[in-house]
Amino acid sequence: LGFSLSEIQDLLNLKADKKSKCQSVQLKAKAQLRSVEEKISHLKRIKKVLSELIEQCRQRKIDSECPLLDCLDDCKFEKSKE
């Protein structure tokens, strides 16, 4: 489910505590879901950029620079802006 070891330990502690409420577990699960959704969104952006770069590589002239390699400097710049 994508929980870290620490988060799993927290969940197991909640399970062991008979007084724990399901609401506590739901809050942790909702936070995990938000994290997963953010990761999916990020991976979709990466997929889009990679697909575009692969297509640019296919269309480039033999003597031109590699678009994917050219992107490395741009990608570093974009990462530093986040």
Amino acid present at 58: R
As given in the structure block, the two tokens for residue 7 are 């988060």
pLDDT of residue 80: 47
pLDDT score recorded for residue 76? 56
- Which residues, in sequence order, are CB contacts of 3 under 8 Å at separation 6+? 11, 28, 32
pLDDT of residue 6: 93
Residues listed for the chain: 82
Tens of pLDDT, residue by residue over 8-25, are 999 998 888 878 788 888
Can you read off the two tokens belonging to residue 57? 């590589």
Which is more confidently placed, 69 or 45?
45
**pLDDT the model gives residue 75:** 67
Tell me the backbone φ, ψ of residue 60, rounded to 5 degrees: -70, 155
